[in-house]
Every structure is written in C-alpha cells, then in structure tokens.
C-alpha cells in the first residue's frame, strides 16, 4: 500500500520512496526503507497530510504520499 | 579576519543566534540585491576580528532550492574558516544528519546545541560533553532566544584551536570499503562521500582523468548491486543508524510522554472544521489591525505630529527670506516627499509586527499547510501564500520572501503575481478616491480593489502556469515547527528591521522622486521663457506637457485630464506619491497625505465615479513602484521574463480598467440585460456545440454502454411482461 492510504492515527513502515524530484529530500529528512511513520492528520481541506517521522512533524501532499510505498503496522 | 558561517536546519534558531552574536554590529542587509541570501555582521568580541555570516537553513548538502544551494555551496566550496553548526536539541536525530555531512569535510566546526531550555523544560537531558567526545568537536549548549550560553559560545570561537585535526566519522566496513574505492580516484574523502550520495552531481567542481572517471563509474555501478536497499539510500541510512546510536548514548528522555503543548494548540488551529475559520479570522485580524480604526488612529496621530513639526521648519525657513524657488522646493518637494514616507510608516509597522508574530510563533507554516490545497489549484504551493500575504504590506519584502519556495517556477510565478496584490502604498489612493466620491459605500469600494487584485493575481498565476511554465510541478514538503512563544525582543527587531528598510528605501527613492516631480511640475515654459511657476500656472509645467501628450492613450479608460495621467506616471516611481502628486497638481494647500479630505473637492470636480474607479484599477494593476520593479528583476533573474511581466502588467491594467470603466457606466438594469443576453448566448452556444458533436455519431447500439442499457431495458421488459403474464395467469386461474 502507499502512504496516502494510511489513515490518521495509524502507523506504517517505509518500504520504498519514489517521489521523483523530492526523493533525495525525503531520504535526507529520514524517510528511508525501514523508517517508522505515524500519520497524524490531514489538513482541513483534506490535503496535505501531516506525518511524524524521527520525532518531528512533516507535511506532504497526498500526490507525493502515493509514491511512497509502506507497510501498515500496529503501534 | 576570520570568517565564521552559521549553518543549520531551517528553524533551528540561526538568525536569533546571529543577532545575539553580532549584537548591534550587524549590517543593514536583508534587502533584495544586497544580501537576502546571506547576512554578514561582526562578532561581539574584543579579542579577535570575526565576520559572522548568516546563511539560509538547509536539511542536507543535497539541495532542491536556490536558497539552500547558496548555503550548501558555501560549505562545498569551503568559503569559511569555521562553521558554527546550530543543532536543535529538541530534534537531535534529524539535525545531526547535516552535522555528520559537515563533519565529513575538513572545515573546523563548533556545534551550538540550541533550544536547551526546551529540553530542560521537558525534564530531559543531553550529555553534550559526551557528544563532543563522540564527534571530536566542541559542543556548546545554548538557548539563543533565552540568551543562555552566548558568551561561552563567543569564547569558544575566540579560542578555537585551528591546528587540531579531527578524526573523520567511520561507518560500517562495507560502506567504508565503497568510500575508499571511490577515494582511490577522487582523492578527497568529502567529495567521495558526496559522490556516494549524489552521484555525478558531486563531481562538478573537480576534474578527473578520463581513465580514472571510467574506473570510478565502473566501481560505482559495481557497488550499486551489492545492497538490498537503493544505493542512494545506503549512506543516509548508515548515517541515521550511527546517529541513533549516538543519540541513545547522550539523550536521556523523560519517562512521562505527555501530549506536547504544540500538539494541543494544533488540535485547535489545524482542526478539521475550525482550522479554516480560525485561519480566516487571523488573516482578517492582520488586515483589520493595520487598516482598521486602530491603524488609522495611530497613523493620524503620528502624521499630525510630524506635520506640525514640518510646518514649523517651513515657516522658519520662509521667515529667513530665502529665494522663492528654494522655499518652493522645501515646502512642496522635500517635505511633500517626507510626509508621504513617514505618514505611511505606522500602518506598515503594525503590519510588519503582526506578520513577525505569525512567523515567530510558527503559525505561518500552518497557514501554508492549511492553504496548500486551495493554492495548488492555481498552480502555486501553500508556501506561496506567505509572500502573497506579505505583498499586502509591501511588494519588495514579499518578493524577497519568495526565496523560501522550493521550486524555481513557483518562485517566479509568485514574484510575477505579487504586484497585483494590492500593497499598502496603494491604500491611500483608494482612501482618497473612495472617500471623495463613494461616501458611505467607500469601504466596499476599497475592499473590492483588494478582491480584484487577488482575482487578477490568481488568474495570472493560472495563465502563467498553463503557458510559460507548462512543465513545472509545484513541490510541497514542509516541516511543521513546534509553536514557540514569540519573544518581545525578536518580534520588535523583526518589525524594526523591516520598517527601517522601508524608511531607507522611501527616504531615498521617494524623496528623490518627489524632488524630481517638484521640478517637473514647478518649472516650465511660459511665453517661451523657462522659469519657476506659481501654483496656478501648473498647466505650463513639464510634467503637464508629458501628461497632456500621453492623455489620448488614456481616454478610452476614462481619463479626461492630464493631472490623472501625470499622477499615474509618478506612481511608477512610488505608489505613495500618486496622492501627493494629485495634491500638488490640483494646487491643494496643505498636506493631502496627512489629510485626504483636502483633496475631496478637487476629485469631486474632476472625476465621475466611473472615472475614479477606472483610475484606482489602473493604479492597482499597472507596473508597481520602481523599488518593487528592481526587486522583481532581482528575483526573476531574466530580462526576457522581466520585460514580459512589465508589459503584461500594463496590458492587464489597461484591459481591466477599460472593462470596469464601461461596466460601471451602464445602469444596473442594463447590466442585468447584458448578463442575461450573455448567459443566453453562452447557453445557445453550448447547445449548438452539443448538437454538432452528437450529429456526427450514428448510434448502432454496438458499443458496450449502449448495449448494456438496451439489454437492461429488454430484460426489464421481459421481467415486467412475465410478471404481468403471471399476474394475468393467476387472475385467469381464479
């Protein structure tokens, strides 16, 4: 599944990052294969989404989130 | 002289630290073309002469925006003697990523561990001495906003031992093997590591022998195959693993993991339902504070004071019995200009203060988060909202702030549309015209100008995106910083710096503009003689001649006298001077900028409501003031795009004024008739198009959709018939 499909309040683990021109940025900000992500919320208009990764809060668009492949996990 | 660069993540407190390190010695930078990209100041130190350079924040040395590139190139090209790396202690893991990249170079480094007060507040602790041992560089715990540890940091800079070499950070053997493989050809560990992460991009600055390059690429592709995860993730992954190991050693987290204050605030401010209304309310408040009763009251009081002061001087000079042209220059030129400058300052200061509060508290980032979805439709990113909002104050800092956008195209589009956002300097124009002619409706008229500006800006953005920047894709990826309580000192400094910049700009450009206008409007040929004109002879002036000459061009948009065209002309020099020029040209006694009502009778005599509206629209949309034009050139970095934007603005201003002038002139009933006719025509047009489109297709019922429909109807009929038959049968049977 992709990060986009993970609902607020759920956890997941990064499997692969595509995200074309933002790939390098996401990697450097810590989204690497195996990294744990908590999906916190979506913006009032439904997009972008806010995730917690490595203890800080990052926001990205759903279109980008749908290029990040993840596995859902519990807690 | 030693050059010290401040390097750190965005929002790690670099600028605050910069201000603390340089004290009052900082340079006036932060103005486009001068030093938006970097600020330089002198270290507060009696022992050594040291330059402190404040650079834009970066997450890593691989950059995706222009702004970041400036900072990263500083490191890559080793332009400094010493790096002070600011690390946000409340976000160690990600901040240390950049630190590790910096440590891979051989540039001397001191780490300033910032936000220690927040760490302590959370009842956590960080063993910075141990961190210093692990990394092999001095680590100084500080709190830039609370001014803790600053002197210790200065002392560490003063006494830094440049002869001491540090051990490079070593990764696992399989990674080290690859780095060493690359280094055989590159012969620079730092560049080899950059090559590992960034590929060929890292080799821009060095030259390799052809054979070496071939061998290097071969070993690159060979290394590529030996990992499970993607090759460009290998080194970042190793780095993060090492960082986590270090962080676990030094960081003692608190046992109780409660919900942070930031989370609590965000539950309300970015709430699914309340988030938007709160955003709207905050934006309204910003606007209301600057342009509402409070802003007007402060402005009036301030300007009244200044004006009394000016009059005192003017009277004093006149009593000395100076030559008439000197007295005229001082009263009409110099003080006219100065009054315009300072008269506008209070409103701008309020606006800058509120924006500084929003920025410093962390709400600006939320604004971008909330607005992204909406702005994306127009081809912009949520971050474009911030420059556009600042654009309501002044286009110049707004354009400078477009550098916070990640994407070059976003930056250009935003810069190109900012002039349409009605800046604060245009407000007096609306104030005077609306006040003179629209009476109680003036508030709506002024508001409509702002709305019109936004609409034109948005439509232009869509147009630019669809034509000039077809291939561009707006990126959005942004960290939401924790909310911080803005400190009085920082907010005031922010406000003061921006206001001062305005004063400096206005004090030079605007004053010069006013003196030139004075010369052009008080000198001219009367009966073949070139001389100083009196107020009632202003029709003979040079400016009058230019205005009269270009007037025919403006006739179609409702300009009937040359004073209007001349005022528009001076608006290109500074929007503030439009009202002032009208005052001069209509020969109004007294200061029209202080007291707009003085102009009312002149405007009532020379403008109809339609003409006034057209004038305001043209002033709103046409080329901005010269300072904004300069800023625009700086940001667009292309003469072609720059000239296009200027031409586009003239064209749009003329077109919209023309349309508005025609529409406002027709009575309401006519407008409704036109609207009805227009809608009818469009309706008919679409009907015809639909018929034409459908005519070509003859339906044989072969396509699946049609077939399905048919089958559905047939089966329904059969069922119906069967049912009826059964019913009949039953009834027959009875």
Residue with the larger pLDDT of the pair B345 and B21: B21
- Band the pLDDT of B702: cuts 50, 70, 90: very low
Q: What is the pLDDT of residue B38?
A: 67
Nearest to B477 among A22, A44, A54 (CB): A22
Mutate to test the interface with B, among A19, A20, A23, A24 (most CBs of B within 10 A): A24
Instruction: Among A15-29, B420-434, B463-477, B719-733, name the one with the lowest average pLDDT.
Output: B719-733
Nearest beta carbon to residue B476 from set A29, A42, A60: A60
Average pLDDT over residues B509-518: 72
Q: Could you tell me the pTM of the whole model?
A: 0.75
Asked whether the beta carbons of residue A33 and residue B229 sit closer than 8 angstroms, the reply is yes
Residue in chain A lying closest to B88 (CA): A56
- Cβ separation B275–A46 shorter than 8 A: no
How many Å lie between the alpha carbon of B247 and the closest alpha carbon of chain A?
12
- Name the residue of chain B whose CA is nearest to A30's CA: B94
User: What is the pLDDT, as a whole number, of residue B719?
Assistant: 57
Q: Which of B63, B240, B266 to mutate to test the interface with A (most CBs of A within 10 A)?
A: B240
- For residues B392-417, average pLDDT: 78
pLDDT at B198 over 70: yes
Most confident of A16-20, B392-396, B573-577: A16-20
Given a cut of 50, whether residue B209 has pLDDT beyond it is yes
Cα B653 from Cα B456, distance rounded (Å)? 10
Per DSSP, the residues of B219-273 read HHHHHHTT-SS-HHHHHHHHHHHHHHHHHHHHEE--S-----HHHHHHHHHT-TT
- Residue B201 pLDDT > 80: yes
Average pLDDT over residues B647-672: 85
Q: Determine, for residues B373 and A47 on separate chains, whether the beta-carbon distance falls below 8 Å.
A: yes
Task: Assess whether pLDDT exceeds 90 at residue B486.
Answer: no
Can you name the CATH fold of B173-252?
A: Helix Hairpins (1.10.287)
**Residue B502: pLDDT band with limits 50, 70, 90:** low
Q: Compute the average pLDDT of residues B106-135.
A: 92
The answer for residues whose C-beta is within 8 angstroms of residue B240's C-beta and 6 or more apart is A30, A32, A54, B93, B97
Pick the CATH number of B2-158 from 3.30.230.80, 3.40.109.10, 3.40.50.300, 3.20.20.370: 3.40.50.300
Mean pLDDT, chain B, rounded, equals 81
Residue-wise pLDDT for B521-535, tens only, equals: 788 888 888 888 876
CATH classification (class only), A3-73: mainly beta
Distances (CA, A) of B478 to A49, A56, B366, B381, B645: 10, 11, 10, 11, 29
Tell which of A3, A25, A28 to mutate to test the B interface (max B CBs under 10 Å). Answer: A28
A54 and B94 within 8 Å at the Cβ level: the answer is yes
B372/A48 Cβ within 8 A: yes
* Contacts A26 to B, Cβ<8 Å: 477
- The whole-number pLDDT of residue B592 equals 66
With contacts defined as CB-CB under 8 Å, which chain A residues touch B270? 41, 43-44, 50
Give the Cα separation of B147 and A52 in Å (integer). Answer: 30
Res. B726: pLDDT tops 50:
no
Reported ipTM:
0.95
Residue B53 phi/psi, 5-degree rounding, is -115, 120
Q: Is the pLDDT of residue B562 over 80?
A: yes
B727 pLDDT above the threshold of 50? no
Q: What angle do CA B43, B46, B49 make, to 5 degrees?
A: 50
CA–CA dist B397, B390 (Å, integer): 7
Mutation site for A-interface testing, chosen from B264, B271, B364, B369 by largest number of A Cβ within 10 Å: B369
Residue B406's pLDDT is 62
Q: Does residue B177 surpass a pLDDT of 90? A: yes
**Of B322 and B416, the one with more pLDDT:** B416
Residue B413 has pLDDT above 70, yes or no: yes
* End-to-end CA separation in angstroms for chain B: 116
For chain A, the domains span 3-73
pLDDT of residue B696: 47
Contacts with A64 from chain B: Cβ below 8 Å: 476-477
Task: Give residue B34's pLDDT.
Answer: 29
Residues pairing with A52 in the sheet: A38, A57
**Alpha-carbon span B491 to B560, nearest angstrom:** 47
Phi then psi dihedrals of residue B593, to 5 deg: -75, -35
Residues of chain B with C-beta less than 8 angstroms from the C-beta of A22? 64, 475, 477
Query: Are B157 and B43 within 8 A, CB to CB?
Result: yes
Considering only CB atoms, A56 lies closest to which of B370, B372, B479, namely: B479
pLDDT above 60 (res B561): yes
User: Which residue of chain B comes nearest to A18, CA vs CA?
Assistant: B230
Predicted pLDDT of residue B477: 82
Mean pLDDT, residues B607-616 taken together: 91
**pLDDT score of B729 more than 50:** no
Q: Which of A57, A64, A66 to mutate to test the interface with B (most CBs of B within 10 A)?
A: A57
Q: CA-nearest residue of chain B to A53?
A: B94
A48 upstream amide cis, omega within 30 of 0:
yes
Q: Is the pLDDT of residue B468 over 80?
A: yes
pLDDT at B362: 83
A21–B232 C-beta distance less than 8 A: no
Chain A residues with CB inside 8 Å of B477's CB? 22, 25-26, 29, 58-61, 64
- Alpha helices, H only, B82-149: 92-103, 116-121, 128-135
Q: Which residue of B has its CA nearest to A33?
A: B229
**Interface list for chain A against chain B, based on CB atoms closer than 8 Å:** 16-17, 21-30, 32-34, 41-48, 50, 54-61, 64
Provide the angle, in degrees to the nearest 10, between the axes of the packed helices B542-554 and B511-522.
Answer: 90
- pLDDT confidence band for B478 (50 / 70 / 90): confident
Give the model's confidence band at B698: pLDDT under 50 very low, under 70 low, under 90 confident, else very high: very low
Please tell me the distance from the alpha carbon of residue A5 to that of residue B406, in angstroms, as a whole number.
26
Band (pLDDT 50/70/90 cuts) for residue B228 is confident
- The answer to whether A44 contacts B376, with C-beta atoms less than 8 Å apart, is no
Which range is most confident: B34-43, B95-104, B277-286, B502-511? B95-104
Mutation target among A44, A50, A64, A67 for the B interface, most CBs of B within 10 A:
A44
Question: A55 and B198 in contact by Cβ < 8 A?
Answer: no
Q: What percent of chain B has pLDDT over 70?
A: 84
- A59 and B369 in contact by Cβ < 8 A? yes
Q: Point out the residue among B94, B233, B477 whose CB comes nearest to the CB of A64.
A: B477
For residue B512, what pLDDT is reported?
A: 75
Residue B299's pLDDT is 75
Give me the residue from A25, A32, A57 closest to B477, CB to CB: A25
Distance of CA A43 to the CA centre of its chain: 14
What average pLDDT does the segment A34-44 reach? Answer: 94
**For B127-159, what is each residue's pLDDT tens digit?**
999 999 999 999 999 998 888 999 999 999 999
Residue B479: closest CA among chain A residues belongs to which residue? A58
Q: What is the per-residue pLDDT for B27? A: 42
Are B324 and B352 a contacting pair, CB within 8 Å?
A: no
- Average pLDDT value for residue range B722-729: 50
How many CB pairs below 8 Å do chains A and B form together?
A: 113
Put simply, the answer to whether A61 touches B237 (Cβ < 8 Å) is no
| H or E segment to which residue B87 belongs | strand B82-88
Kindly state the tokens that stand for B593. Answer: 């900028």
User: Does pLDDT of B256 surpass 70?
Assistant: no
Percent of chain B's residues with pLDDT above 90: 23
Task: Looking at the complex, report in whole angstroms how far the Cα of residue A75 sits from the nearest Cα belonging to chain B.
Answer: 15
Q: Which residue of A has its CA nearest to B478?
A: A59
SS3 track for B332-348? HHHHHHHHHHHHHHHHH
For the purposes of burial, counting CB atoms within 10 Å of the CB of B463, is it exposed (0-12), middle (13-18) or buried (19 or more)? middle
Q: What is the pLDDT of residue B30?
A: 32
B233·A33 Cβ contact <8 A: yes
Which residues of chain B have a Cβ shorter than 8 Å from any chain A Cβ? Answer: 59-60, 62, 64, 91, 93-94, 97, 198, 229-230, 232-233, 236-237, 240, 270-273, 275-276, 279, 369-370, 372-374, 376, 382, 473, 475-480, 482
């Amino acid at each position: 599944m992709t990060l986009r499909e993970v609902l607020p309040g759920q956890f997941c683990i990064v499997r692969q990052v595509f995200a074309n021109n933002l790939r390098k940025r996401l990697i450097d900000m810590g989204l690497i294969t195996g990294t744990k992500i908590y999906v916190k919320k979506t913006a009032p208009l439904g997009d972008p989404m806010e995730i917690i990764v490595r203890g800080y809060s990052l926001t990205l668009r759903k279109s980008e989130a749908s290029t990040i492949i993840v596995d859902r996990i519990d807690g | 002289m030693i050059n010290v660069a401040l390097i750190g993540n965005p929002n790690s407190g670099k600028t605050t630290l910069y201000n603390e390190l340089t004290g009052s010695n900082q340079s006036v930078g932060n103005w486009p073309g001068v030093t938006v990209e970097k600020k330089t100041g002198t270290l507060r130190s009696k022992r050594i002469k040291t330059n402190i350079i404040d650079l834009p924040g970066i997450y890593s040395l691989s950059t995706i925006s222009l702004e970041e590139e400036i900072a990263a190139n500083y490191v890559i090209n080793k332009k400094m003697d010493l790096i002070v790396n600011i690390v946000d202690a409340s976000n160690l893991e990600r901040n240390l990523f950049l630190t590790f990249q910096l440590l891979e170079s051989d540039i001397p480094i001191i780490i300033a561990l910032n936000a220690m007060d927040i760490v302590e507040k959370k009842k956590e602790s960080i063993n910075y001495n141990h961190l210093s041992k692990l990394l092999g560089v001095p680590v100084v715990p500080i709190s830039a906003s609370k001014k803790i540890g600053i002197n210790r940091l200065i002392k560490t800079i003063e006494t830094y031992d440049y002869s001491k070499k540090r051990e490079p950070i070593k990764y696992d053997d399989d990674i080290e093997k690859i780095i060493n493989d690359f280094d055989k050809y590159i012969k620079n560990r730092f560049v080899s590591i950059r090559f590992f992460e960034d590929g060929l991009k890292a080799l821009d600055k060095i030259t390799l022998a052809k054979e070496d390059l071939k061998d290097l690429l071969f070993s690159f592709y060979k290394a590529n195959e030996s990992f499970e995860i993607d090759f460009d993730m290998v080194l970042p992954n190793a780095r993060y693993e090492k960082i986590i190991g270090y962080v676990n050693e030094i960081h003692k987290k608190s046992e109780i993991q409660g919900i942070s204050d930031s989370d609590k605030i965000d539950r309300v401010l970015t709430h699914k339902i309340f988030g938007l209304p709160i955003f709207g309310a905050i934006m309204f408040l910003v606007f209301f504070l600057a342009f509402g009763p409070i802003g007007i009251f402060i402005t009036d009081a301030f300007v009244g004071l200044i004006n009394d002061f000016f009059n005192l001087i003017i009277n004093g000079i006149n009593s000395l019995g100076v030559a008439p042209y000197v007295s005229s220059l001082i009263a009409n030129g110099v003080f006219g200009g100065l009054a315009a400058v300072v008269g506008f300052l209070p409103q701008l200061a309020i606006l800058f203060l509120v924006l500084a509060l929003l920025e410093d508290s962390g709400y600006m980032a939320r604004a971008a988060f909330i607005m992204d979805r909406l702005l994306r439709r127009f081809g912009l990113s949520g971050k474009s909202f911030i420059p556009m909002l600042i654009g309501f104050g002044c286009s110049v800092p707004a354009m400078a702030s477009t550098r916070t956008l990640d994407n070059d195209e976003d930056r250009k589009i935003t810069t190109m549309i900012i002039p349409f956002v009605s800046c604060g300097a245009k407000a007096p124009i609306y104030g005077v015209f609306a006040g003179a002619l629209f009476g109680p409706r003036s508030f709506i008229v002024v508001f409509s100008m702002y709305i019109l500006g936004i609409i034109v800006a948005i439509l232009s953005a869509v147009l630019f995106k669809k034509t000039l920047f077809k291939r561009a894709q707006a990126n959005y990826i942004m960290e939401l910083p924790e909310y911080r309580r803005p400190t009085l000192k920082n907010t005031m400094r922010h406000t003061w710096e921006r206001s001062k910049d305005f004063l400096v700009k206005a004090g030079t450009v605007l004053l010069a503009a006013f003196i030139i206008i004075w010369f052009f409007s008080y000198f001219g040929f009367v009966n073949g003689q070139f001389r100083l004109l009196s107020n009632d002879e202003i029709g003979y002036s040079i400016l009058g001649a230019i205005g009269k000459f270009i007037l025919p061009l403006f006739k179609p948009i409702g300009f009937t006298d040359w004073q209007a065209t001349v005022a528009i002309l001076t608006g290109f020099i500074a929007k503030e001077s439009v009202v002032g020029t009208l005052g001069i040209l209509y020969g109004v006694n007294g200061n029209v900028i202080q007291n707009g009502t003085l102009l009312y009778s002149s405007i009532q005599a020379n403008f109809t409501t339609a003409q006034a509206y057209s004038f305001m629209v043209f002033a709103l949309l046409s080329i901005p003031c010269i300072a904004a034009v300069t800023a625009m050139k700086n940001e667009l970095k292309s003469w072609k795009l720059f000239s296009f934007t200027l031409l586009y603005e003239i064209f749009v201003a003329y077109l919209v004024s023309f349309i508005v002038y025609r529409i406002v002139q027709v009575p309401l009933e006519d407008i409704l008739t036109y609207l009805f006719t227009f809608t009818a025509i469009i309706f008919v047009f679409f009907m015809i198009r639909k018929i034409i489109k459908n005519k070509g297709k003859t339906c044989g019922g072969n396509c699946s959709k049609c077939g399905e429909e048919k089958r559905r109807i047939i089966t329904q009929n059969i069922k119906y018939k069967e049912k009826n038959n059964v019913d009949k049968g039953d009834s027959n049977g009875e």
